[in-house]
Amino acid sequence: MERQKFTAEKPETILDLGTGYSNIHLNITEMIEGIVDEDGKSKDETVWLADVIRVANPPHRDAIISAIVRDRFTDDFREAALRKGILDQKDSDYVLFNSYAEDVKKMVTDAGVIE
């Protein structure tokens, strides 16, 4: 997932790119940025920052969560963490992975993606 800046307008949570993929915008924050226009005058401009991940259409909740988790952890790490967690739910890799997955689910829910 990468952080992007939007200047024209606040990005939609889900933007269908018309290519078979959608960009998912999460953790959208609004801020004021001082800029200099072409006349050399300073002015304030509203910009939005968002974490962006691309998923195949249709962009349903499980696919979004899975894409974010896969972006952070490799397949090998995820499998190993889950296997370690079966034996010891306090294993540091399992705790890290599980905590992140739960945080991602909350982040997606907070963005209004419920299906």
Q: Say what percent of the chain tops pLDDT 90.
A: 83
Of the candidates 47, 71, 61, 56, which has an alpha carbon nearest to the alpha carbon of residue 17?
Answer: 56
Report the alpha-carbon distance of residue 1 to residue 24 in Å, rounded.
Answer: 10
Report the alpha-carbon distance of residue 5 to residue 63 in Å, rounded.
Answer: 24
Domain ranges across the chain:
2-110
Which distant-in-sequence residues (6+ apart) come within 8 Å of 64 by Cβ? 24, 53, 55, 108, 113
Q: Is the pLDDT of residue 83 over 90?
A: yes
Reported as a single tens digit per residue, the pLDDT across 26-65 is 999 999 988 888 888 888 899 999 999 999 999 999 999 9
Label residue 16 by pLDDT band (50, 70, 90): very high
pTM for the model stands at 0.82
**Cβ–Cβ under 8 Å, residues 30 and 50:** no
